[in-house]
Amino acid sequence: MTHGMVRVAARRTHGVLVLALMMLAALLVAAGARAAGAGYWHTSGNRILDSANQPVRIASINWYGFETTTFVAHGLWINDYKAILNLIKSSGFNTVRIPYSDQMMSQNPVLGTMNINRNGINTDIAADARALDVLDKIIAHCSTIGLRVILDNHRSNAGNSAQESGLWFTSEFPESTWLANWRALTTRYNGNTTVIGMDLRNEPHNSACWGGDPAGCSSANDWHAAATRAGNAILAINPNLLIFVEGNDRYNNSFTWWGGMLRGVASRPVSLSVANRVVYSAHDYGPAEANQSWFNGSTTAASLAAVWDQNWGFIHNQNLAPIYIGEMGTLNGNADIQSSTPGSQGQWFSSLVQYLNGKSSMGWAYWAMNGNDRYALFNNNFNGIVNQSKLTLLQPLMFPLDQQPGNTPAISGVNPASGAVGSSVTVSGSNFGASQGTSTLRFGNTNASVSSWSAAQISASVPNVGAGAQSVTVTVNGVVSNAATFTVATQQQPPAITSLSPTSGAVGASVTISGSNFGATQGTSAVRFGTTNATVTAWSNTQVTATVPSVSGTVAVTLLVGGIASNAANFSVTTTPTPNYALGAAPAALTVNRGASGSVTVSITRSGGFTGSVALSATGLPAGVSASFSPASTTGNSSTLTLTASSTATLGNATVTINGSNATVGARSVQVALTVANPGGGGNATITGAVTSNSPWFIEEQVRINNPAPITAMTVTIVVARNPAGLSVGGQYNNIGGQVAQASSATASQLTYTFTLGAGQTLPAGTGRVFAAQIGGTGAAHPTTGDTWSVIYTSGGTQTTSSGTF
């Protein structure tokens, strides 16, 4: 309070002064109790601040799928999207980075049942939902539970990795499409503070360069310039968004990970039309991804930090701008998470976590949540953590947005204040949370085994830590309490195994492990066969009974008690692998004209020593379609299926099931999507026009073509029959026969958008191809009455004309 305010208050009566001070105190308390992360976020130096200028740290996870050929987030085939997001939230993350492709945005395909299970889950996703409809659902639930979203333009055409060319455009998806899609997404979520930022492009590399590079940079491939254009295009629609600019992979002939090179920022930072919006994003991986030169027998945490500081950490260290590690991930073996071996995956990951832990304003994103990823955090069912020790290591980096300032966990006392390893202890305090969840009680760096947890009291056993004074802390939702001291009077002796009974057996067999110093109860202790934890059925200080997990060969059996490993005893797994096989089909979708044939290669993948003969057959054939296999029964690895359609075969789509059978192993199957088409093709295409977006700032008119047979020539024309002042119009790309068709003419008042096929081009049979006109306005409403479309196409030698109005 200023001196001037004191003088004004002094003129009032005592009662009024007291009331004013009480109201002011109440307001200050309310402001102090306000959760972090409100509204849109902005930058200040190397920090990100919310709309109330409170610092926030992005602690995010990647959930991919929209950029792949499924066109939708992965895991919805087995779990509900809301349940997946709830698990992300309860695991401590505050933000989800969602990759997408330009193809997904431009085509926005209808999603079938293959990748979205609606049998009791995902029931609020409509049967005819499109990709963007599902993205809307995910963002809406993120808003409900307090998660934020970063949208990531991961690649141009749909695929399962970074863009192969390394650029933000392709011949099929030029930069104009990239920018148009960013404008469309920004418009779609404008005003929705759940979406806090846009990651302009994933991992520019190869010929993508940073302008001003001493080694040279062509203007066509200048990523710095392109990022500036895209950032300004987004901010012109929503000036409140964070703009995430990734690095490339090289500068001045020095190389690093794709997206991980930001040295060019030192001499040429990205300057946008709105200040305090740029966040620089780097990606970093370990030797499991590629064995970089800095991974070797001399690698240390300090040497890794020096590499990071040189490539991107200097931006944070010099307070130039915030840094966000958009991707970092590791495998799920314990040695891949934490290791002291120089140059190892575990050393890299734990060192990077340690580096981030020392820079509290630096954001990060784990790659990936997906249970189908080799770096998965969630399991294959997308309903649990695949390795808890990985999440435990990440926990100090969490920043829950609903953790209120002044409401952090606090320890008031430890009772007793000293004791032996394994003894009971009670930790008293406040703000521990109603239940443990992912929260932890630690003695030094070792988690304690908790028997009860409440908001004000925790009961636990002293873990196996060294004798003497140990720091006791409580971590709740990633927030660490003050430290109390507990003195360990007696250190537990290391666990020792004296015998196994039996010493060999099958997976699933029961094994008794005898020895000493195992502890009275299991707690957080574990039995391991190799690196795999076993299920424990009984535990005492001298004897443990466990079930052999899914391992093979001769493995070392160890006990891990209070963080200390025992000696190893050998156990031989005697079960032979189970013979098995699986069928595959390429292509997975096939179009056959009446009177013609098509072939599918059937692959037989064998495992477990299976060498038997597999007999093949096909079911689900439409009337008039026959199937033959060559060979029909084989001990090899493949067969060719030929599907022949008669001249009267039933037209349309069908699912053909390829069946394999073996008397010993049993039946297996794989499916092929078959389309029977009319070779004449004339008049068979279904063509519709629709206005998919209409606002005072943006309008899109689409012509969608569903053709059952290949088209050999086609012209699509869209005419915008209006002339409001200042109207700007532009065309949307489309891929026809592997080539890009562009708008033939455009004026400020009218767009005639014509696509023509060149010699030798064809439009393959398929559904949902989109031809679109995009019009940006001036803030006035745009009537669509009078806008028209026409299509002239040739199929099977027959030319057909179709037209309509929007």
- Give, for 393, the enclosing helix (H) or strand (E): helix 388-394
- The three-state (H, E, C) secondary structure of 307-338, written as one string: HHHHHHHHHHHCCCCCEEEEEECCCCCHHHHC
Q: Is the peptide bond before 26 cis (omega within 30 degrees of 0)?
A: no
CB neighbour burial string for 425-442, b if at least 16 within 10 angstroms, e if fewer = bebebebbbeeeebbbbb
Lookup: tokens for 403: 């953790």
Dihedrals phi, psi of 234, to nearest 5 degrees: -70, -45
**Which of 47, 49, 31 has its CA nearest to residue 39?**
49
SS3 category, 224:
helix
For residue 60, is it left (φ>0), alpha (ψ between -120 and 50) or beta?
Answer: beta
* DSSP per residue, 430-449: E---SS-TT-EEEETTEEPE
Residues 6+ apart with CB under 8 A from 206: 165, 166, 167, 249
Angle CA(618)–CA(620)–CA(625) in degrees, nearest 5?
A: 80
Report H helices in 238-375.
301-308, 314-317, 334-337, 345-357
For residue 527, is it left (φ>0), alpha (ψ between -120 and 50) or beta?
Answer: beta
Q: What is the largest CA-CA distance in the chain?
A: 103
Q: Give the orientation angle of helix 301-308 with respect to helix 345-357, to 10 degrees.
A: 60
Radius of gyration of the chain (CA): 31
CB neighbour burial string for 641-658, b if at least 16 within 10 angstroms, e if fewer = bebbbeeebebeeeebeb
- Cβ distance 59 to 95 under 8 Å? yes
Residues 6+ apart with CB under 8 A from 302: none
Binning the chain into helix, strand and coil, the percentages to the nearest 5 are 15, 35, 45
Query: Which residue(s) pair with 515 in the sheet?
Result: 497
Lookup: tokens for 684: 């068979």
Catalytic residue among 67, 203, 700, 701: 203
**Which of 624, 608, 709, 704 has its CA nearest to residue 662?**
608
What DSSP designation does 578 have? P
Q: How far is CA 489 from CA 103, 421, 525, 748, 792, in A?
A: 65, 8, 21, 84, 89
- Give, for 184, the enclosing helix (H) or strand (E): helix 175-188
CA atoms within 13 A on the CB side of 293: 4
- Give, for 15, the enclosing helix (H) or strand (E): helix 14-32
* DSSP per residue, 757-777: --TT--B-SEEEEEEEEEEE-
- Give, for 452, the enclosing helix (H) or strand (E): strand 449-453
Catalytic residue among 67, 246, 327, 701: 327
327 in active site = yes
In residues, how long is the chain? 806
Residues 6+ apart with CB under 8 A from 293: none
Angle CA(644)–CA(649)–CA(650) in degrees, nearest 5?
A: 130
Show which residues are catalytic: 203, 327
